A and B are shown apart, each in its own frame.
Chain A
Amino acid sequence: MTTTADRPDTAEVGQSRLRKEDRRLLTGRTRWTDNLELPGMVHLALVRSPVANATITGIDTTEAAAAPGVVGVWTGEDLPEQGAMPIAWTVSDNLKVPSLMPLAVGTVKHVGDVVAVVAATSKDAADDAAGMVDVSYDELLVVMDPIAALEADSPLVHPELGTNVCATWGMDSVALGTGGDVEEAIRAAEADPDQVVIRRTLRQNRITPAFVEPRSIVVDPTAEQVTMWSATQVPHILRILLAMTQPVDEHELRVIAPDVGGGFGGKLQATREEALVLLIALRLQLPVKYTETRMESMQSAHHARDQVQRLTLAARKDGTITAFDVDLVADMGAYLGILTAGIPLLGGFMFNGIYKIPAYRFFCTDVFTNKVMTDAYRGAGKPEATFGIERMMDELAVELGLDPIEVRRRNWINPDEFPYATVAGLTYDSGNYDQATDRALELFDYDGLRAEQARRRESNDPVQLGIGVCTFVELSGLAPSRVLGSLNYGSGGWEHASIRMLPTGKVEVAAGTTPHGQGHATAFAQLVSDELGIPFEDITLISGDTATVPRGMDTYGSRSLVVGGMAIVGAARRVVEKARPLAAHLLEADPNDLEYDRGTFTVRGTDTSKTIPEIALAMWLAHDLPDGMEACLDSESTFDPENFSYPTGTHLAAVEVDTETGKVTLRDYVCVQDVGVLVNPMIVDGQVHGGLTQGIGQAMYEEIRYSEDGQLTSGSLADYLVPHAPDVPRYRTDTTVTHATTNTLGVKAVGETGTTAAPPAIVNGVLDALRPLGVTDITMPTTPLKVWSAIQAARSEKGGAS
């Protein structure tokens, strides 16, 4: 039996505990959804559209239906019970919502749209038969470019909506009462010889979350509840959304997310594939499985980013910003996922970055095109915004001939100004941008690298050195329910946890946030160990199952620790409060005379004490409880934050650009972040490393490409290039700590910082290397071809001018 004496005396929080879950995850000895085999299970294959915009003129399923092993073939017409897929964010009154059915009815709107489903006794038989389904299409003109989509003569993705504009949404500092009129400020700047006005149009490339485990679903309709296993980030949300839209009620449906191989926002969705597996399982009353291929994933799982940013920044010649105007066009793709329309507007709260901006405006136009829908991807709107402001800060530095660090320093919020009410209407709780930046500059040897850069410029070295800067803050830890409500978001932002005290002194933590690689089992055990004095090893996590964890809001927006962790701590503290009267009873003392310290109640001034495990056993036995006491120590807690979490930091990239080939090599990357109190520094580092690598991927390698006629030309990982370990440097990371004041742990979010800060740091670095050659912009990804072409263009322009 456990006693608290087994527990080391030092606090668990702050220890780099190896991850409990890694033994099974790293050896692959776990159960992924696709590993599930159930008696009598049938397999699905989906027939996907090879064209981007068409009317379906006929579907002949005769041959497929007669193929060996086939149990059934359905088209959209054959499934009248299917319900339209849900959206969870009605961003504005003018939002237009196109109908997205699990199986397309009548039309297809992008390559990969699903037109038929085949069920067969084996996956092979289903795949074979899917190839026999004969679909006839009457092709229509496609809309691929979001800017062209806005032109009056553009074809329409959804003619019944009468426009390609999905929604518009705006905010400005006058209406918010946070600042001046942006147009007025820009006009004044233009008339003022002591100010500059910088206008740039920046592009956010379309990328995909590229999780390692493709999406996979199994539905078993043969028990009291219909059970769905899905490789999802959001089992609780999925259950509600499916119950609201498909022919199953919430109490009849159980959703389980077993171990999930990465999500990054890509599995924050209620997918048509999930709905289809459910629908066919209900039809057949048999267990059904569907696992997508990577190519299906690329043409069906939601993409991300894909924005055009028209930015206007006004500043005094000393570098202080006087106004910032953001006009955004965001590509939704053909349909709306649960958060699609709202992702860009999350950026609206972040385009001001860490700076004091006296006048601000944000206006976003969401546009339909014949592409896969966009939706959340690690950062969700904030990386886009950070890219916009941080690229503009470098443009300002160049315009004024200032060092990029200096121009930022002249604008950022000072340590003594927190809490700081921003021009975008948020309140940043804490931070110290000077401290993080100074530490980063020191680690990086900023001055030494600037000297090397000067030498290389001087000697006309074919390999030029660039220094990329990004100082950022991020809105994370979704989220205060009231704020979400004010944005017409379709759910609250609370999180729930319960603690189950077992009679042997062990603990089960049931948490509403669901891990897909983050290390919840480890970090949460550290939190509970410190609260209850139970050894780390004696605490286990239960999650990802609506039956065993009935309440939860799941995992996205870096919320697991700052929201979910607080719910766990709250539940643990309730255990202590429930234990106190029993401890007093057993110790024959007044409850008010008990002192509690990490798992032990001691009668003040004595050495008589009871530990939490002793009390748990006594409670379970219930032989000697005070009159009227319920025989249960288990406790629950729901936490709803009052504010978001604002992790910050300074990223510095040293990039070498081979001007002969255009190849960009990341030589060094330093990042010093303030993510508040660290629960497990190793896990924090892992989050940073992974996020950086994905951010570097967006900046340098990754791009979803479509041809003019709507074909996906980057449909496999041979064409969609993600970085591997040899492509990135050995990151050098450090942290500074200012306590978050929005939770009692003092923790801030960390999961999305890398993808937020790395893209502008890299692109600023590439441009810093090449500005002397006349290069002023390169769109992401900065592939060798694009960099070389930009150098050639700048040289010929220079040559032409001289």
Chain B
Amino acid sequence: MRPVAFDYVAPTTVEEVVQALSDGGEDATVISGGQSLLPVLRMRMADPSLLVDLRRVDSLREIRDDGDNLVIGARATHRQVSTDPLVRQHAGLIAKTAGSIGDPQIRYRGTIGGSLAHADPAGDMGAAVLALNGSLELTGPRGSRTVAGGDFFVDYFTTAREPGEVVTAVRIPKHDGWGSHYEKFTVVVQAWAVVAVAAAVRVEGGQVAEARIGLTNMGTTPLRAAAAEQALVGVAAADTDALRAAAATAGEGTNPPDDPSGTPEYRRHLAGVLAGRAVVKAVEAVA
């Protein structure tokens, strides 16, 4: 089906985007790559009165080095993020996760900011951003602010983004020297993750010094598996059985969805297995 009729603007600056959103009121929606919004519009599950398109805001495509952080423009496509040398060097987990999203056509269209703002708990990027302690930059009528990933995701398809605000960038602290892996479990290749685990580890003196684990589709938002992260600290990097055992608790305490691809019990089990695999591969990937 065609979407319900709507107005459309494509401003060239963030200021104009914010202005258009506030002029458009509650029924105005930002469109970035359109990979989540367009299907919803076509199924008439949403009927915004105005689409504010980011495609002409060139500044939002930029990926830059900002000292201790990497700043990825919200309009950067998954393809761009997955292949960008800066991202691959300083935030390998983000690049690997971006490369796992959808298929090539989707990765050429979909954007990191769009994916995060959509806040589908089965979306891939949230877990990776959480795992690397990333934060989001938002700009609205009252100026700009930075929100930590953990505070950004509020509920199923719901974020801390206020009406009139737009996600402009994702800030990722550099994780130079960390190993990482995104372990995604799907029923068919081209489907949402039943569960996925984003893992990053730092190894020092043959032992895990720090571990970060993000979970996809294990609740109403992306999650961190704090207990498993702590359990991994001090584990010998070469002892894969011990790494797996330490990561096996990743699903505990979560309340994942129940659908034909997985019961909550199954998903909790999967999270533990996949976390173990992700951590082992992350350790192997340490430079």
Contacts and interface: CB of A to CB of B under 8 A. Distances in A.
A788 B43 contact: no
B67 to A, nearest CB: 40
B191 A128 contact: no
Interface in B104-132: none
A789 B189 contact: no
A188 interface: no
Contact of A727 (B4, B43, B188): B188
Chain A interface, DSSP helix/strand/loop, else mixed: loop
Contact of A128 (B4, B190, B260, B274): B4
A785 B195 CA distance: 12
Contacts of B273: 660-661
A124 B273 CA distance: 48
Interface string B15-28: 00000000000000
A707 to B, nearest CB: 11
Interface string B199-234: 000000000000000000000000000000000000
A701 B187 contact: yes
A721 B191 contact: yes
A131 B188 contact: no
B1 A127 contact: yes
A726 interface: yes
Contacts of A788: 266, 269
A785 B260 contact: yes
Contacts of A663: 185
A785 B262 contact: yes
Contact of A295 (B4, B43, B192, B274): B43
A724 B188 contact: yes
Given A131-B44, A661-B273, A788-B269, A123 B189 contact: no
Given A124-B2, A701-B188, A721-B191, A785 B261 contact: yes
B187 A783 contact: yes
Contacts of A491: none
B13 to A, nearest CB: 32
B194 interface: yes
Interface string A724-742: 1011000000000000000
A662 B43 CA distance: 33
A111 B216 CA distance: 33
B1 A293 contact: yes
Interface residues of A, number: 29
A713 interface: yes
Interface in A765-802: 783-785, 788-789
Interface string A692-732: 00000000010101000000011000110111101100000
A666 to B, nearest CB: 12
Contacts of A661: 185, 270, 273-274
Interface in B66-88: none
Contacts of A789: 263, 266
Nearest to A783: B187
| Most chain B Cβ neighbours within 10 Å, of A295, A784, A789 | A784
Interface string B264-278: 001001100110000
A505 B273 CA distance: 69
Contacts of A721: 187-188, 191
A662 B194 CA distance: 12
B48 to A, nearest CB: 16
A123 B185 contact: no
Contacts of A723: 188
Contacts of B43: 295
Nearest to A788: B266
Contacts of B1: 127, 293
A276 B165 CA distance: 48
A717 to B, nearest CB: 9
Contacts of A701: 187-188
A479 B266 CA distance: 48
Nearest to B103: A724
A783 B261 contact: yes
A295 B43 CA distance: 9
Q: Kindly list the 6 A-B residue pairs having the minimum CB-CB distance in the complex, ordered from nearest.
A: A726-B189, A721-B188, A660-B273, A124-B2, A727-B188, A724-B190
Interface of A: 123-124, 127-128, 131, 293, 295, 660-663, 701, 703, 705, 713-714, 718-719, 721-724, 726-727, 783-785, 788-789
12 contacts: A663-B185, A713-B260, A721-B187, A721-B188, A726-B189, A726-B190, A783-B260, A783-B261, A784-B261, A785-B260, A788-B269, A789-B266
